[in-house]
Each structure stands twice: as structure tokens, then as C-alpha cells.
């Protein structure tokens, strides 16, 4: 059946409807049909509008498809869609997006190519592909893979250049970096990197030992060049810093590795000793450079650990440096004191102060005074630690003077002339203790002998803590093994003295603080008092200086404990006096009754019959007691008892009170009008009898007798 022909008007009507509905593809077809007949400009314009709208719809569809493909990682199709959309629309943002997708696409291709190259063993090519992939994606992991591939390709310099800018997290990467560094002869850097490798396999440990050996050889070679090129040192500053840091690191780590694996370091004892000397030389050469540059604080960081031994040159070197550092900061005062005093009393240094012997001593005293002024400068500011430094300075100054006097100018004893702390630091305390014991007669008394030995003993720190009033630290610093360790060092008697001193000081400290755990710390007090009376006097002075009731109680307990073991007259008299003082204080506060107070005073008088306070107090107390009993008897109308108390009393005050009472009663009786004469006479006879029992010659008897006579007549 033939299609029915439509007239132009019908076609135009249909085209208009399609156009208005936005169906531009069909509208375009209809408009083109009618325009072939009519050739109308308006229709041609509508056709152009349809074409434009159709293009925009196509662009939207292409962009939609491109985004969907990009999301699905179908990058080639996404790129095609976006490129076609750009050709149709020319939108500004599309080129940038297309470039991003192409970069991603190329990166993926490069990554896959790199993996394939790795699998085939072409590591250098793999590294290149990883670099291309990174250029497109900028993922640091790609650089890490590139660096590892470069190591496998034996391109070690290139590998190090990449590794040094990366953050390494994997053990494999850390190992590869260290390996690459070793291959380009950066042995120190290699070992530092390998410190982060957590592996103890034999193969890895052997590799580390190999690199350590190479580093040792490298350091020795560089050191030998410094020695042979001394003439050129004036123009080129040697890098002693690097040699020292690398050498110190190597020594520490070789010994550590040897202990861990129970293997030798690979060097003989003489080689180790020689190597350590070279490193030590570099250390002090570097310090010398820093000194010239006035970088004193940097020098301070390098001082520790101190060398195991110090000859006179090294001792003077440390003393000079520490003086400069102490001028900068008080934190160096402790070490400064140790080296300064020891250096000034070292014979080899002393003789260099001046050719003239008298001038030498003046210079030494001047330098000691200079140091003392420096310490006082900090102490005057009020800093506690600096104040402590001044205390220990005086102690160590006296101690080294004693040892210097003992040793004299004997060369074999020169190293023993040092401060107590220096002796501990450098392990010569035992020899000094022996010197002190061999020369006991040198010391002025037992206390002087024990005190000097105590500072140099294994318990010496405790005495310094006492000097600084650091009682808790003093107790804690006593040797844990006590006399067992002391016997080994030969300083048992000095350690015992230190223990006695610390316990005594801590006991006083506990007493003053109000603690009740002081008893155990006075168990050795008797032995200490026998060594020196000054400690007994110190204890007595503190006991007599106590005024608070609770403090007096604690001192009374401590005195009683010591008295039970050492009943000296001084301790006995002090205990007697403290007992009376405390009893009086308690009585005045109504914490002890009169009888209890009297009993305490009687015990105190038994300890010291010459205790004047006790005697006076006892008399007053007895008067008070009798007065109290007298008043109680009177208040209960027990005249016979009151009369008996007054008659027996040895105190005139009690008798006077009795007669004053009787006089008041006599006056009252005379004025009494309700009693007849007979009753009054009977009562007056009782008065006479009571008064006569107390004092048969008292004048009141005549008054009573006269009144009776008057009433009877």
C-alpha cells in the first residue's frame, strides 16, 4: 500500500509540533523536507537551532558515558568520549580532564610495564618505567619501587639519590638503602640506616660486621692522612668532628653487636686499643677547634662519658674547659669542682704554675679563690643547687688538702690526690682508703680520720647528702650490700661510720618532722657518741631546744632509749630536765593531774638529784597537792583530816592557809548571835585543839583562850 502524500502545510504543522516539544532530531527531518520545497529562511534558522540542540544533547551523552567509563577505570573509552565531546563543544574544562585521564592511563601502562621488566630481570628498565609512572601519578610508593629496582640494577648512586628523600617504612626498603650506601662507600651512613633493620639472621649480621670493618679501615685511613698532612692543616680545617662521631658510633656498636651475638669484634685487643686512641684523639682535636670558635656549650655535650684515666694534660684540659662552662651555666658546677681542685693539687700541674715554689702556692690559692667566687656568685642569687655546690666545695677542698698532705710529692701517690667524687668517678677510692688507713696517726682525732675516710668510701655520697640536709637521699644512698661490700673495698669502718652518721641525722630529721619512726635510727647513736662527743652535744642541744609538747615527748623517748645503752651524766641530766619540762607543760594544759606530775618529777630527780627545776617544781607541786587535799577536806567538813594535812605538811604555805581559815572561823564565831555562850565555848575548845595539833605555839591559841575565858566569866 502506498504512503499517503502529505501536503506542505501538514508537514510544517508536524515539524512545528516536534520542534516545540524539543524533539529536535525528528523536527530537523521534517523541517528539511519542507524547506526543500519552500526554501524559507525562517525554516532554515529552525534547522540550525535543531542541529545545535542535537549537538548539545550528543555532548551531554558523551560526557555522561565518559564519566561512567572513567569511574569503571575504562580509561581508553573515557578518553574517546571526552575527546569527541570536546570536538563537538569546545568546552574549556575538557582538555584538562582529558590530560588527567591520559596521564593516569599512561601511568597504569608504565606501572604494568615496570612489573613486567622486573619479572624479566631488567631492573634498570623497570626503574625507568617506575619513574614514568610517578611522573603521571606522583605516588611516593612508585619512587620507592624505583629506588629498590636501582639497587637491584646496581645503580647505587642513583638509588641513594632517590632513597634519601623518601620516608622508609618497609624493612626491605631500609635494608636496600643501607646496602646502596655501603656500596658507594658511605659506611657510617649505611650502618646508621641499618640500625632500623629488625633482623638477627646470620647473613645480615655478617654483612654488618663487614661494613663495620670497612668503616674502621676507612676511619684509620682518613686519620693517617690527617697525620701525614699536618703541614697543610693550617689552610684546610680537618674534619675531626666526623672522624670522632663515626669512630665513637663504631666502637659502641661493635661492642654491642659482639655482646649480643657472643662473637668477637673482628679486631685484636691492640687494634681496638689503637682505634680507640685515634677516636679519642679526634674527639679532643675537635674540642680544640670548638674552643677556638668559643662553642663552649657544644663542648659540654661532648665531655661525657669521661675517659677511664686522666693524665695531667687531660686533667688540666678538662679543668680549663669546665671552668669556662661553669661561667656560662651553673649546671656544670659539680663537674667543675671535681676537676678544678684535683688539677690544682696534681703535682705535675702544680709545678708548671711557676718556677718559684712560693709563687706556685700563691697562684694555686688564687685559682681556688677564683673558683670559690664563681660558686658564690651563683649561691648569692639564691639558687638551691648552687648553695649546695658551695657546701660540697668546702668539704671536698678540706678532703683533698688532707690527702695532699698525706701523699706529699711522691710520684707513686700523685694520682691519689683528688676529690672524693673524682676518686669515685675514676675508680681510685680503694687506693685512697688504703692510704688513709695506713696513716691513721696523721689525723687530729678519730672523727677527723673517720670523716675523711667516710667521704672517700663506698658510702661517701651519703655524707654529702647530709651536708646538704638531703636526709631521704642520704638514707637511700647507703650501700645496699652494707658491710659485705665494705669488706671487699677495705672501707668497712668508714662505711659503718657513714651508716651511724646517716642514721643519727635521719633520726633527728624524723624527730623534727614529728614522725614516730625515729627509734630505729638511734640504735647506733651510742657508738657514734663514743667516736665524737660533738654528736651527743648536738642531740642534747636539740632536745633542750624543743618546746612543743609533742616534740618533748619524742625527745624524751629517744633520750630514754639512748640512756638505756649509754647512761652518761650528760644524757641522764638532759633526760631528767626534759621529763620535768614535759610534765609541767602537760600539767599546765590539764593533760596530767598533780599526782601524775609529782610522780614524773620524782623519777626525774632520781636521775638527777641536782635538777633545780625538778626540785622547785616538786616543792610547788607538793604545796598544790596538799592545798588541794586541804580544801577538799574543809569543803566536806572533815576538820580532823584538814588538821592532819596541815600538821603533817612540811610547807609553811599549807600551815598558813590552815590558820587563815581558823582565823576567819574565829571572827565569824565572835559575831554569831544565834549561839549561846556554852555552845561557843565547846566549839572554841575544838578550835584550840585543832590549832594546837598543827602548831602549839601559834598566837591564835592565845586569842582562842582569851575568848573562852571571856565567855566563861
**Does some domain include residue 281?**
no
- pLDDT confidence bin for 113, thresholds 50/70/90: low
Between 53 and 684, the higher pLDDT residue: 684
**Does some domain include residue 221?**
yes
Backbone angles phi, psi at 58, to 5 degrees: -65, -40
Counts for the chain of helices (H) and strands (E), in that order: 36, 0
| pLDDT(125) > 70 | yes
Q: What is the pLDDT of residue 489?
A: 57
Same structural domain for residues 338 and 405? yes
Question: Is 641 buried (19+), middle (13-18) or exposed (0-12) by CB count in 10 A?
Answer: middle
CA distance 653 to 60: 129
| pLDDT(482) > 50 | no
Least confident of 34-48, 429-443, 576-590, 635-649: 34-48
Between 208 and 101, the higher pLDDT residue: 208
Between 138 and 341, the higher pLDDT residue: 341
| pLDDT(99) > 80 | no
Q: What is the mean pLDDT of residues 12-40?
A: 74
Structural contact between residues 569 and 605, judged by C-beta atoms closer than 8 angstroms: no
* pTM score over 0.75: no
| pLDDT(218) > 50 | yes
CA distance 604 to 598: 10
- pLDDT confidence bin for 471, thresholds 50/70/90: very high
Same structural domain for residues 17 and 84? yes
- pLDDT confidence bin for 116, thresholds 50/70/90: low
Least confident of 421-425, 579-583, 709-713: 709-713
- Cα–Cα distances (Å) from 283 to 192, 267, 277, 624, in that order, read 20, 21, 10, 85
Q: Please, what's the largest Cα pairwise distance for the chain?
A: 189
* Crossing angle (nearest 10°) for helices 171-183 and 202-228: 30
**Does some domain include residue 567?**
yes
Least confident of 172-181, 272-281, 519-528, 529-538: 272-281
Highest mean predicted confidence (pLDDT) among 262-266, 305-309, 482-486, 546-550:
546-550
Number of domains the chain contains: 6
Same structural domain for residues 354 and 413? yes
Least confident of 250-264, 389-403, 567-581, 659-673: 250-264
CA distance 412 to 479: 30
**Does some domain include residue 462?**
yes
CA distance 178 to 186: 9
**Total count of residues recorded for the chain:** 713
Question: For residue 3, how many C-alpha atoms fall within 13 Å in the half-sphere facing its CB?
Answer: 3
Q: Give per-residue pLDDT as tens, 374-416.
A: 988 887 776 656 567 788 899 999 999 999 999 877 777 888 9
CA distance 390 to 374: 10
Q: What is the pLDDT of residue 400?
A: 95
Least confident of 88-97, 107-116, 206-215: 107-116
* Crossing angle (nearest 10°) for helices 140-152 and 93-119: 30
- Alpha helices, H only, 523-651: 525-531, 533-544, 549-565, 569-588, 594-607, 612-635, 639-648
Averaged pLDDT of the chain: 82
Of the chain, the percentage scoring pLDDT greater than 90 comes to 26
Q: Give per-residue pLDDT as tens, 593-650.
A: 888 888 998 999 999 999 988 888 777 777 777 777 788 888 888 888 888 888 888 8
Q: What is the mean pLDDT of residues 578-587?
A: 90
| pLDDT(687) > 90 | no
Least confident of 90-94, 282-286, 414-418: 90-94
Measured in whole angstroms, the distance separating CA 539 from the mean position of its chain's CA atoms is 34
| pLDDT(272) > 50 | yes
Cβ atoms within 10 Å, residue 452: 22
**Does some domain include residue 287?**
no
Quick one: three-class SS letters along 403-465? Answer: HHHHHCCCHHHHHHCCCHHHHHHCCCHHHHHHHHHHCHHHCCCHHHHHHHHHHHCCCHHHHHH
- pLDDT confidence bin for 428, thresholds 50/70/90: very high
Q: What is the pLDDT of residue 220?
A: 84
Same structural domain for residues 264 and 183? yes
**Does some domain include residue 52?**
yes
Residue 20 maps to which CATH number?
1.25.40
Cβ atoms within 10 Å, residue 90: 10
Same structural domain for residues 486 and 392? no
CA distance 156 to 351: 59
CA distance 640 to 687: 11
Question: Which domain range does residue 502 map to?
Answer: 428-531
Q: What is the pLDDT of residue 613?
A: 86
Q: What is the pLDDT of residue 102?
A: 57
Q: Pick from 473, 496, 531: which residue ends a domain?
A: 531
| Per-residue DSSP letter, 90 | -
- pLDDT confidence bin for 232, thresholds 50/70/90: very low
- pLDDT confidence bin for 464, thresholds 50/70/90: very high
Structural contact between residues 665 and 675, judged by C-beta atoms closer than 8 angstroms: no
Q: Give per-residue pLDDT as tens, 284-324.
A: 888 888 888 888 888 878 777 788 788 888 899 889 989 99
Q: What is the pLDDT of residue 233?
A: 46
Q: What is the pLDDT of residue 303?
A: 77
DSSP string, 201-215: -HHHHHHHHHHHHHH
- Alpha helices, H only, 457-568: 460-467, 471-476, 483-489, 492-513, 525-531, 533-544, 549-565
CA distance 567 to 95: 109
Between 134 and 475, the higher pLDDT residue: 475
- pLDDT confidence bin for 231, thresholds 50/70/90: very low
Q: What is the pLDDT of residue 270?
A: 63
Q: Pick from 617, 633, 649: which residue ends a domain?
A: 633
Same structural domain for residues 151 and 245? yes
Q: Give per-residue pLDDT as tens, 316-363.
A: 988 998 999 899 888 888 899 999 999 999 988 998 999 888 899 999
Three-state secondary-structure class, residue 614: helix
- pLDDT confidence bin for 486, thresholds 50/70/90: very low
Cβ atoms within 10 Å, residue 127: 26
Least confident of 97-111, 495-509, 648-662: 97-111
CA distance 227 to 277: 14
Q: Pick from 54, 72, 91: which residue ends a domain?
A: 91
Same structural domain for residues 48 and 15? yes
Q: What is the pLDDT of residue 401?
A: 94
- pLDDT confidence bin for 2, thresholds 50/70/90: very low
Closest among 185, 295, 158 to 246, alpha carbons compared: 185
| pLDDT(170) > 80 | yes
Q: What is the pLDDT of residue 446?
A: 93
**Does some domain include residue 84?**
yes
Q: What is the pLDDT of residue 235?
A: 43
**Does some domain include residue 413?**
yes
The C-alpha R_g of the chain, in whole angstroms, comes to 54
- pLDDT confidence bin for 572, thresholds 50/70/90: very high
- pLDDT confidence bin for 114, thresholds 50/70/90: low
Q: What is the pLDDT of residue 461?
A: 93
Same structural domain for residues 322 and 368? yes
- pLDDT confidence bin for 140, thresholds 50/70/90: confident
Between 329 and 130, the higher pLDDT residue: 329
- pLDDT confidence bin for 655, thresholds 50/70/90: confident
Same structural domain for residues 625 and 646? no
| Per-residue DSSP letter, 468 | T
Q: Report the alpha-carbon angle 279-283-284, nearest 5.
A: 125
Q: What is the pLDDT of residue 386?
A: 58
Amino acid at each position: 500500500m502506498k504512503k499517503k502524500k502529505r501536503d506542505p502545510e501538514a508537514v510544517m504543522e508536524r515539524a512545528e509540533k516536534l520542534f516545540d516539544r524539543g524533539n529536535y532530531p525528528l523536527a530537523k527531518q521534517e523541517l528539511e523536507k519542507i524547506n526543500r520545497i519552500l526554501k524559507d529562511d525562517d525554516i532554515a534558522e529552525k534547522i540550525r537551532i535543531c542541529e545545535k540542540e542535537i549537538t548539545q544533547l550528543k555532548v551531554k551523552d558523551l560526557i555522561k558515558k565518559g564519566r561512567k567509563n572513567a569511574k569503571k577505570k575504562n580509561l581508553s573509552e573515557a578518553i574517546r568520549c571526552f575527546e569527541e565531546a570536546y570536538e563537538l563543544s569546545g568546552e574549556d574544562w575538557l582538555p584538562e580532564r582529558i590530560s588527567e585521564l591520559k596521564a593516569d592511563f599512561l601511568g597504569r601502562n608504565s606501572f604494568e610495564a615496570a612489573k613486567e621488566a622486573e619479572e624479566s630481570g631488567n631492573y634498570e628498565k623497570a626503574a625507568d618505567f617506575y619513574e614514568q609512572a610517578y611522573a603521571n601519578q606522583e605516588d611516593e610508593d612508585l619512587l620507592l619501587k624505583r629506588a629498590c629496582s636501582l639497587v637491584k640494577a646496581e645503580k647505587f648512586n642513583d638509588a641513594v639519590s632517590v632513597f634519601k628523600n623518601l620516608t622508609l617504612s618497609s624493612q626491605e626498603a631500609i635494608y636496600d638503602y643501607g646496602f646502596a650506601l655501603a656500596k658507594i662507600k658511605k659506611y657510617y651512613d649505611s650502618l646508621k640506616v641499618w640500625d632500623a633493620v629488625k633482623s638477627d639472621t646470620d647473613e645480615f649480621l655478617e654483612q654488618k660486621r663487614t661494613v663495620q670493618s670497612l668503616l674502621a679501615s676507612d676511619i684509620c685511613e682518613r686519620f693517617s692522612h690527617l697525620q701525614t698532612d699536618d703541614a697543610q692543616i693550617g689552610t684546610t680545617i680537618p674534619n675531626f668532628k666526623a672522624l670522632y662521631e663515626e669512630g665513637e658510633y663504631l666502637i659502641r656498636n661493635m661492642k654491642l653487636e659482639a655482646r649480643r651475638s657472643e662473637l668477637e669484634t673482628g679486631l685484636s685487643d691492640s687494634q681496638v686499643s689503637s682505634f680507640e686512641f685515634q677516636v679519642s684523639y679526634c674527639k679532643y682535636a675537635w674540642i680544640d677547634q670548638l674552643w677556638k670558635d668559643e662553642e663552649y656549650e657544644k663542648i659540654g655535650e661532648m665531655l661525657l662519658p669521661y675517659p677511664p684515666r686522666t693524665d695531667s694534660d687531660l686533667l688540666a684540659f678538662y679543668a680549663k674547659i669546665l671552668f669556662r662552662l661553669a661561667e656560662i651555666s651553673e649546671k656544670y658546677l659539680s663537674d667543675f669542682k671535681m676537676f678544678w681542685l684535683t688539677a690544682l693539687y696534681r703535682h705535675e700541674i702544680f709545678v708548671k704554675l711557676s718556677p718559684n715554689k712560693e709563687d706556685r702556692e700563691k697562684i694555686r690559692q688564687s685559682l681556688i679563690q677564683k673558683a670559690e667566687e664563681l660558686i658564690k656568685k651563683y649561691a648569692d642569687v639564691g639558687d638551691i643547687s648552687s648553695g649546695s655546690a658551695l657546701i660540697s666545695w668546702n668539704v671536698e677542698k678540706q678532703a683533698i688538702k688532707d690527702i695532699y698532705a698525706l701523699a706529699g710529692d711522691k710520684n707513686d701517690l700523685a694520682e691519689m690526690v683528688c676529690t672524693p667524687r673524682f676518686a669515685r668517678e675514676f675508680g681510685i677510692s680503694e687506693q685512697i682508703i688504703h692510704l688513709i688507713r695506713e696513716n691513721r696517726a696523721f689525723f687530729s682525732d678519730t672523727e677527723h680520720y673517720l670523716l675523711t675516710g667516710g667521704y672517700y668510701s663506698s658510702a661517701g655520697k651519703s655524707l654529702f647528702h647530709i651536708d646538704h640536709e638531703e636526709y631521704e637521699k642520704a638514707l637511700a644512698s647507703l650501700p645496699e650490700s652494707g658491710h659485705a661490700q665494705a669488706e671487699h673495698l677495705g672501707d668497712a669502718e668508714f662505711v659503718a661510720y657513714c651508716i651511724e652518721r646517716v642514721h643519727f641525722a635521719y633520726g633527728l630529721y624524723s624527730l623534727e618532722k614529728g614522725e614516730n619512726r625515729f627509734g630505729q635510727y638511734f640504735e647506733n647513736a651510742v657508738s657514734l657518741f663514743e667516736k665524737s662527743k660533738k654528736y651527743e652535744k648536738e642531740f642534747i642541744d636539740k632536745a633542750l631546744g624543743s618546746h612543743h609538747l609533742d616534740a618533748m615527748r619524742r625527745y624524751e623517748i629517744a633520750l630514754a632509749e639512748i640512756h638505756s645503752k649509754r647512761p652518761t651524766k650528760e644524757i641522764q641530766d638532759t633526760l631528767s630536765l626534759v621529763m620535768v619540762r614535759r610534765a609541767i607543760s602537760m600539767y599546765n594544759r590539764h593533760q596530767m593531774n598533780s599526782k601524775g606530775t609529782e610522780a614524773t618529777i620524782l623519777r626525774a630527780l632520781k636521775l638527777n638529784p641536782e635538777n633545780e627545776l625538778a626540785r622547785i617544781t616538786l616543792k610547788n607541786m607538793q604545796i598544790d597537792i596538799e592545798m588541794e587535799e586541804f580544801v577538799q577536806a574543809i569543803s566536806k567538813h572533815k576538820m580532823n583530816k584538814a588538821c592532819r594535812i596541815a600538821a603533817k605538811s612540811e610547807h609553811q604555805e599549807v600551815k598558813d592557809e590552815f590558820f587563815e581559815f581558823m582565823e576567819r572561823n574565829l571572827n565569824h564565831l565572835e559575831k554569831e548571835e544565834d549561839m549561846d555562850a556554852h555552845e561557843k565555848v565547846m566549839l572554841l575548845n575544838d578550835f584550840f585543839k585543832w590549832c594546837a595539833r598543827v602548831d602549839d605555839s601559834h598566837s591564835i591559841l592565845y586569842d582562842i583562850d582569851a575568848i573562852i575565858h571571856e565567855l566563861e566569866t
